[in-house]
Amino acid sequence: MHLNNYKNRLYGRTKGRSNKKIDIENYSELIQKFSVSKLDNNKSYILDIGSGYGETSVFFASLYKKDTIIACDKYINGNFNLVNQIQKKNITNIRLHSGNVIDILENNKKKKFFSLVSIFFPDPWPKKKHYKRRLISKSFLEILHPFIKNKGRICIVTDSISYSRSIINCIYSTKLYYWSNQKTQYIDVKNYYNVETKYYKKAIISGRKPILFILTKI
């Protein structure tokens, strides 16, 4: 699938449920300071898709200090939290895109920028009629492929059984990635990535076991 033909709307929540008013002007100004659109050909990046409250971005920024993390999410409350963390911890290697990850791909066509693409708890869209809203599809894995460095990885974590099944189908039908942790998919995600995101905690509280997929570019 070619990026030009790929249509992906970003569904879901932009703001949290609380009545706390968000100062959009202040938000835009704050986000602007950390935002990114064009990537630098000489740098190595980690793409954190659906960064939520930013836990994974902060985690990867400290684990991979030489890489720059691109945190992508339209979720305002989450982005506010991430920017607070960046400022509080003086983190210098996180940039933000407050919107759809597709914008980043469209603005930086087909260069091998990413050593890692992280997708922690993509929205599961559990109803069959909403499956087509899911981010991870055969087409999406094909579109990401040229942007990933040789032997680079995509790591996906989900606690949805039906999404897992569909991800496995996508891996086998694209034939572009090697499922490198197939034998250890049910091992606690934290054995690989010692980070607890909001949706990781939700899964554990509800007794659901997150599954980890590590796909290595062939």
Ligand X SMILES: C[S@@+](CC[C@H](N)C(=O)[O-])C[C@H]1O[C@@H](n2cnc3c(N)ncnc32)[C@H](O)[C@@H]1O
Instruction: Kindly state the smallest distance separating residue 42's Cβ from ligand X, in Å.
Output: 25
Rule CB under 6 A: say whether 74 interacts with ligand X: yes
Compute how many residues bind ligand X; rule: CB under 6 A. Answer: 21
Rule CB under 6 A: say whether 52 interacts with ligand X: yes
122 vs 152 by CB, closer to ligand X: 122
Q: Which of 48, 73, 123, 159 is catalytic?
A: 123
Rule CB under 6 A: say whether 135 interacts with ligand X: yes
Instruction: Kindly state the smallest distance separating residue 93's Cβ from ligand X, in Å.
Output: 19
| 3-class SS letters over the chain | CCHHHCCCCCCCCCCCCCCCCCCHHHHHHHHHHHECCCCCCCCCEEEEECCCCCHHHHHHHHHCCCCEEEEECCCHHHHHHHHHHHHHCCCCCEEEECCCHHHHHHHCCCCCCEEEEEEECCCCCCCHHHHHHCCCCHHHHHHHHHHEEEEEEEEEEECCHHHHHHHHHHHHHHCCEEECCHHHCCCCHHHHCCCCCHHHHHHHHCCCCCEEEEEEEC
Instruction: Kindly state the smallest distance separating residue 92's Cβ from ligand X, in Å.
Output: 22
- Give the residue numbers marked as catalytic: 123
User: What are the residues binding ligand X (CB under 6 A)?
Assistant: 8, 10, 12, 49-50, 52, 72-75, 100-101, 120-123, 135, 197-200
